[in-house]
Structure 1
């Protein structure tokens, strides 16, 4: 594979690792927020109305940021009935077919999320709750993470082609 492909794969894999590390650290934010909510509500008798909603936003960010990392590490759900019995080249061939389905799906999702973000920006969309937060930050993160997943999907295409050529990229 050309050097630019190897560099692309290396950079995108690093970005996906960073996104995964960031996603993992959000667990601590969620736990701290829920713990603070429990203490203020039950011990101090001062309910914090924004804590549950902040935790929901953080959980959404956790899922979005975990996507590229999951793709990179091949940790997604797969039906192994046929796949497990294939050779490495057979797996690469099958993965090349299915990755294009994923890329199509991600493109549709990206188009929808960009449209949703544009609407949120144009209307200054907010959640209907006591806290009334803007949804622009979480929708922006959704767009960024879908782009990262697309970039990681193309990285996987390059990796599978390299396996088929007999020179895997690691």
Structure 2
């Protein structure tokens, strides 16, 4: 395996690991926003921003945590047949199927980038009563898609390493 691939795996996995560990705690931010919403609906005047803010935090949680989930192998997979295969057999199938993921992420990135440019250019706002600007959450989505794309390439490199060298250890 080339030094470039090893360095790429080490850098991208390390970066996505740190961001994923940070993203895990966004669930507590969302819980705090929802608790505040419940409190204000019960004891005060209800807030207009809480539901949509909770949705934005959840989007950030999913988009920034997705690459970490892929890295840990926590993604959904049909293990009925796959689980019985050898590591090399799994790597062959994974190296083929990850190409579909990469294609999907590139298409998603192009669409997301155009949507984010639109949000910046026209100061797009949500249609809710709160009317927040949409560019911050769309920017976070772009960052998450790029991180997922980089992690998918890292997974492809790991599969290539397993196929060529028969090892799965982290470099």
TM-score by length of 2: 0.94
Unaligned runs of 5+ in 2: none
Equivalent-residue separation in structure 1 for 2:168 and 2:63 (angstroms): 28
Equivalent-residue separation in structure 1 for 2:3 and 2:168 (angstroms): 13
Q: Secondary structure at the match of 1:165?
A: helix
Equivalent-residue separation in structure 1 for 2:139 and 2:169 (angstroms): 32
Q: How does 1:46-57 map to 2 (within 5 A)?
A: 46-57=45-56
- The aligned counterpart of 1:72 is 71
- The aligned counterpart of 1:40 is 40
- The aligned counterpart of 2:121 is 122
In the TM superposition, residue 54 of structure 1 has moved relative to its aligned partner by 0.4
Unaligned runs of 5+ in 1: none
**Structural RMSD (CA):** 1.1
Equivalent-residue separation in structure 1 for 2:169 and 2:133 (angstroms): 42
Structure 1, residues 124-152: CA drift from partner, whole Å, max 9, x if none?
10001221100101101111111111110
In the TM superposition, residue 80 of structure 1 has moved relative to its aligned partner by 1.4
Equivalent-residue separation in structure 1 for 2:124 and 2:45 (angstroms): 28
In the TM superposition, residue 58 of structure 1 has moved relative to its aligned partner by 0.4
Q: Secondary structure at the match of 2:127?
A: coil
The alignment of Structure 1 onto Structure 2 pairs a total of residues equal to 169
Equivalent-residue separation in structure 2 for 1:54 and 1:114 (angstroms): 22
In the TM superposition, residue 121 of structure 1 has moved relative to its aligned partner by 1.0
> After the TM superposition, which segments of 4 or more aligned residues of structure 1 sit over 3 Å from their partners?
none
- The aligned counterpart of 1:99 is 98
Equivalent-residue separation in structure 1 for 2:133 and 2:18 (angstroms): 26
